Amino acid sequence: MAVLAAAAVRQAASLSRLTSTTSPAQTARLLQRRGLAGGGDPHGPPRINFWQDPMSPSKWKEEHFVIVSLTGWGLLIYGGFKAFSGGKKDKKEEKVTEAAH
């Protein structure tokens, strides 16, 4: 709602700056017709969240595809690092008994 109000204020301010000598063609160029919040490609297939159809990555939203792909690669690299780095080695600690002292 605040965005719409700000846009209306900007439009009113730009209209008030126009002089009476400007032509309608110049006025049409100064008015904002559409913001950047268009919602993607209007002619393509509708995009869905990845959890709605996890087996069809071609239908996912682009940002969901990026997040899932980067998470998968991160898990693969981390798993490979853990598998090939030898993991945690157990050290046998000698138990010190009070009788030995």
- Co-location of 28 and 50 in the same domain: no
Q: Which whole-number Å values give the CA distances from 21 to 2, 12, 14, 87, in the listed order? A: 33, 18, 15, 78
Residue 40 lies in a domain: no
pLDDT for 39 beyond 80: no
Count of domains for the chain: 2
Domain residues for the domain of 16 are 1-35
pLDDT tens-digit profile of 72-97?
A: 999 999 999 999 997 666 666 555 55
**Distance between CA atoms of 71 and 88, rounded to whole angstroms?**
24
Prediction pTM value: 0.44
- Co-location of 4 and 28 in the same domain: yes
Q: Under DSSP, is residue 9 helix (H, G, I), strand (E, B) or coil?
A: helix
- Co-location of 29 and 53 in the same domain: no
Q: Under DSSP, is residue 54 helix (H, G, I), strand (E, B) or coil?
A: coil
- Co-location of 28 and 56 in the same domain: no
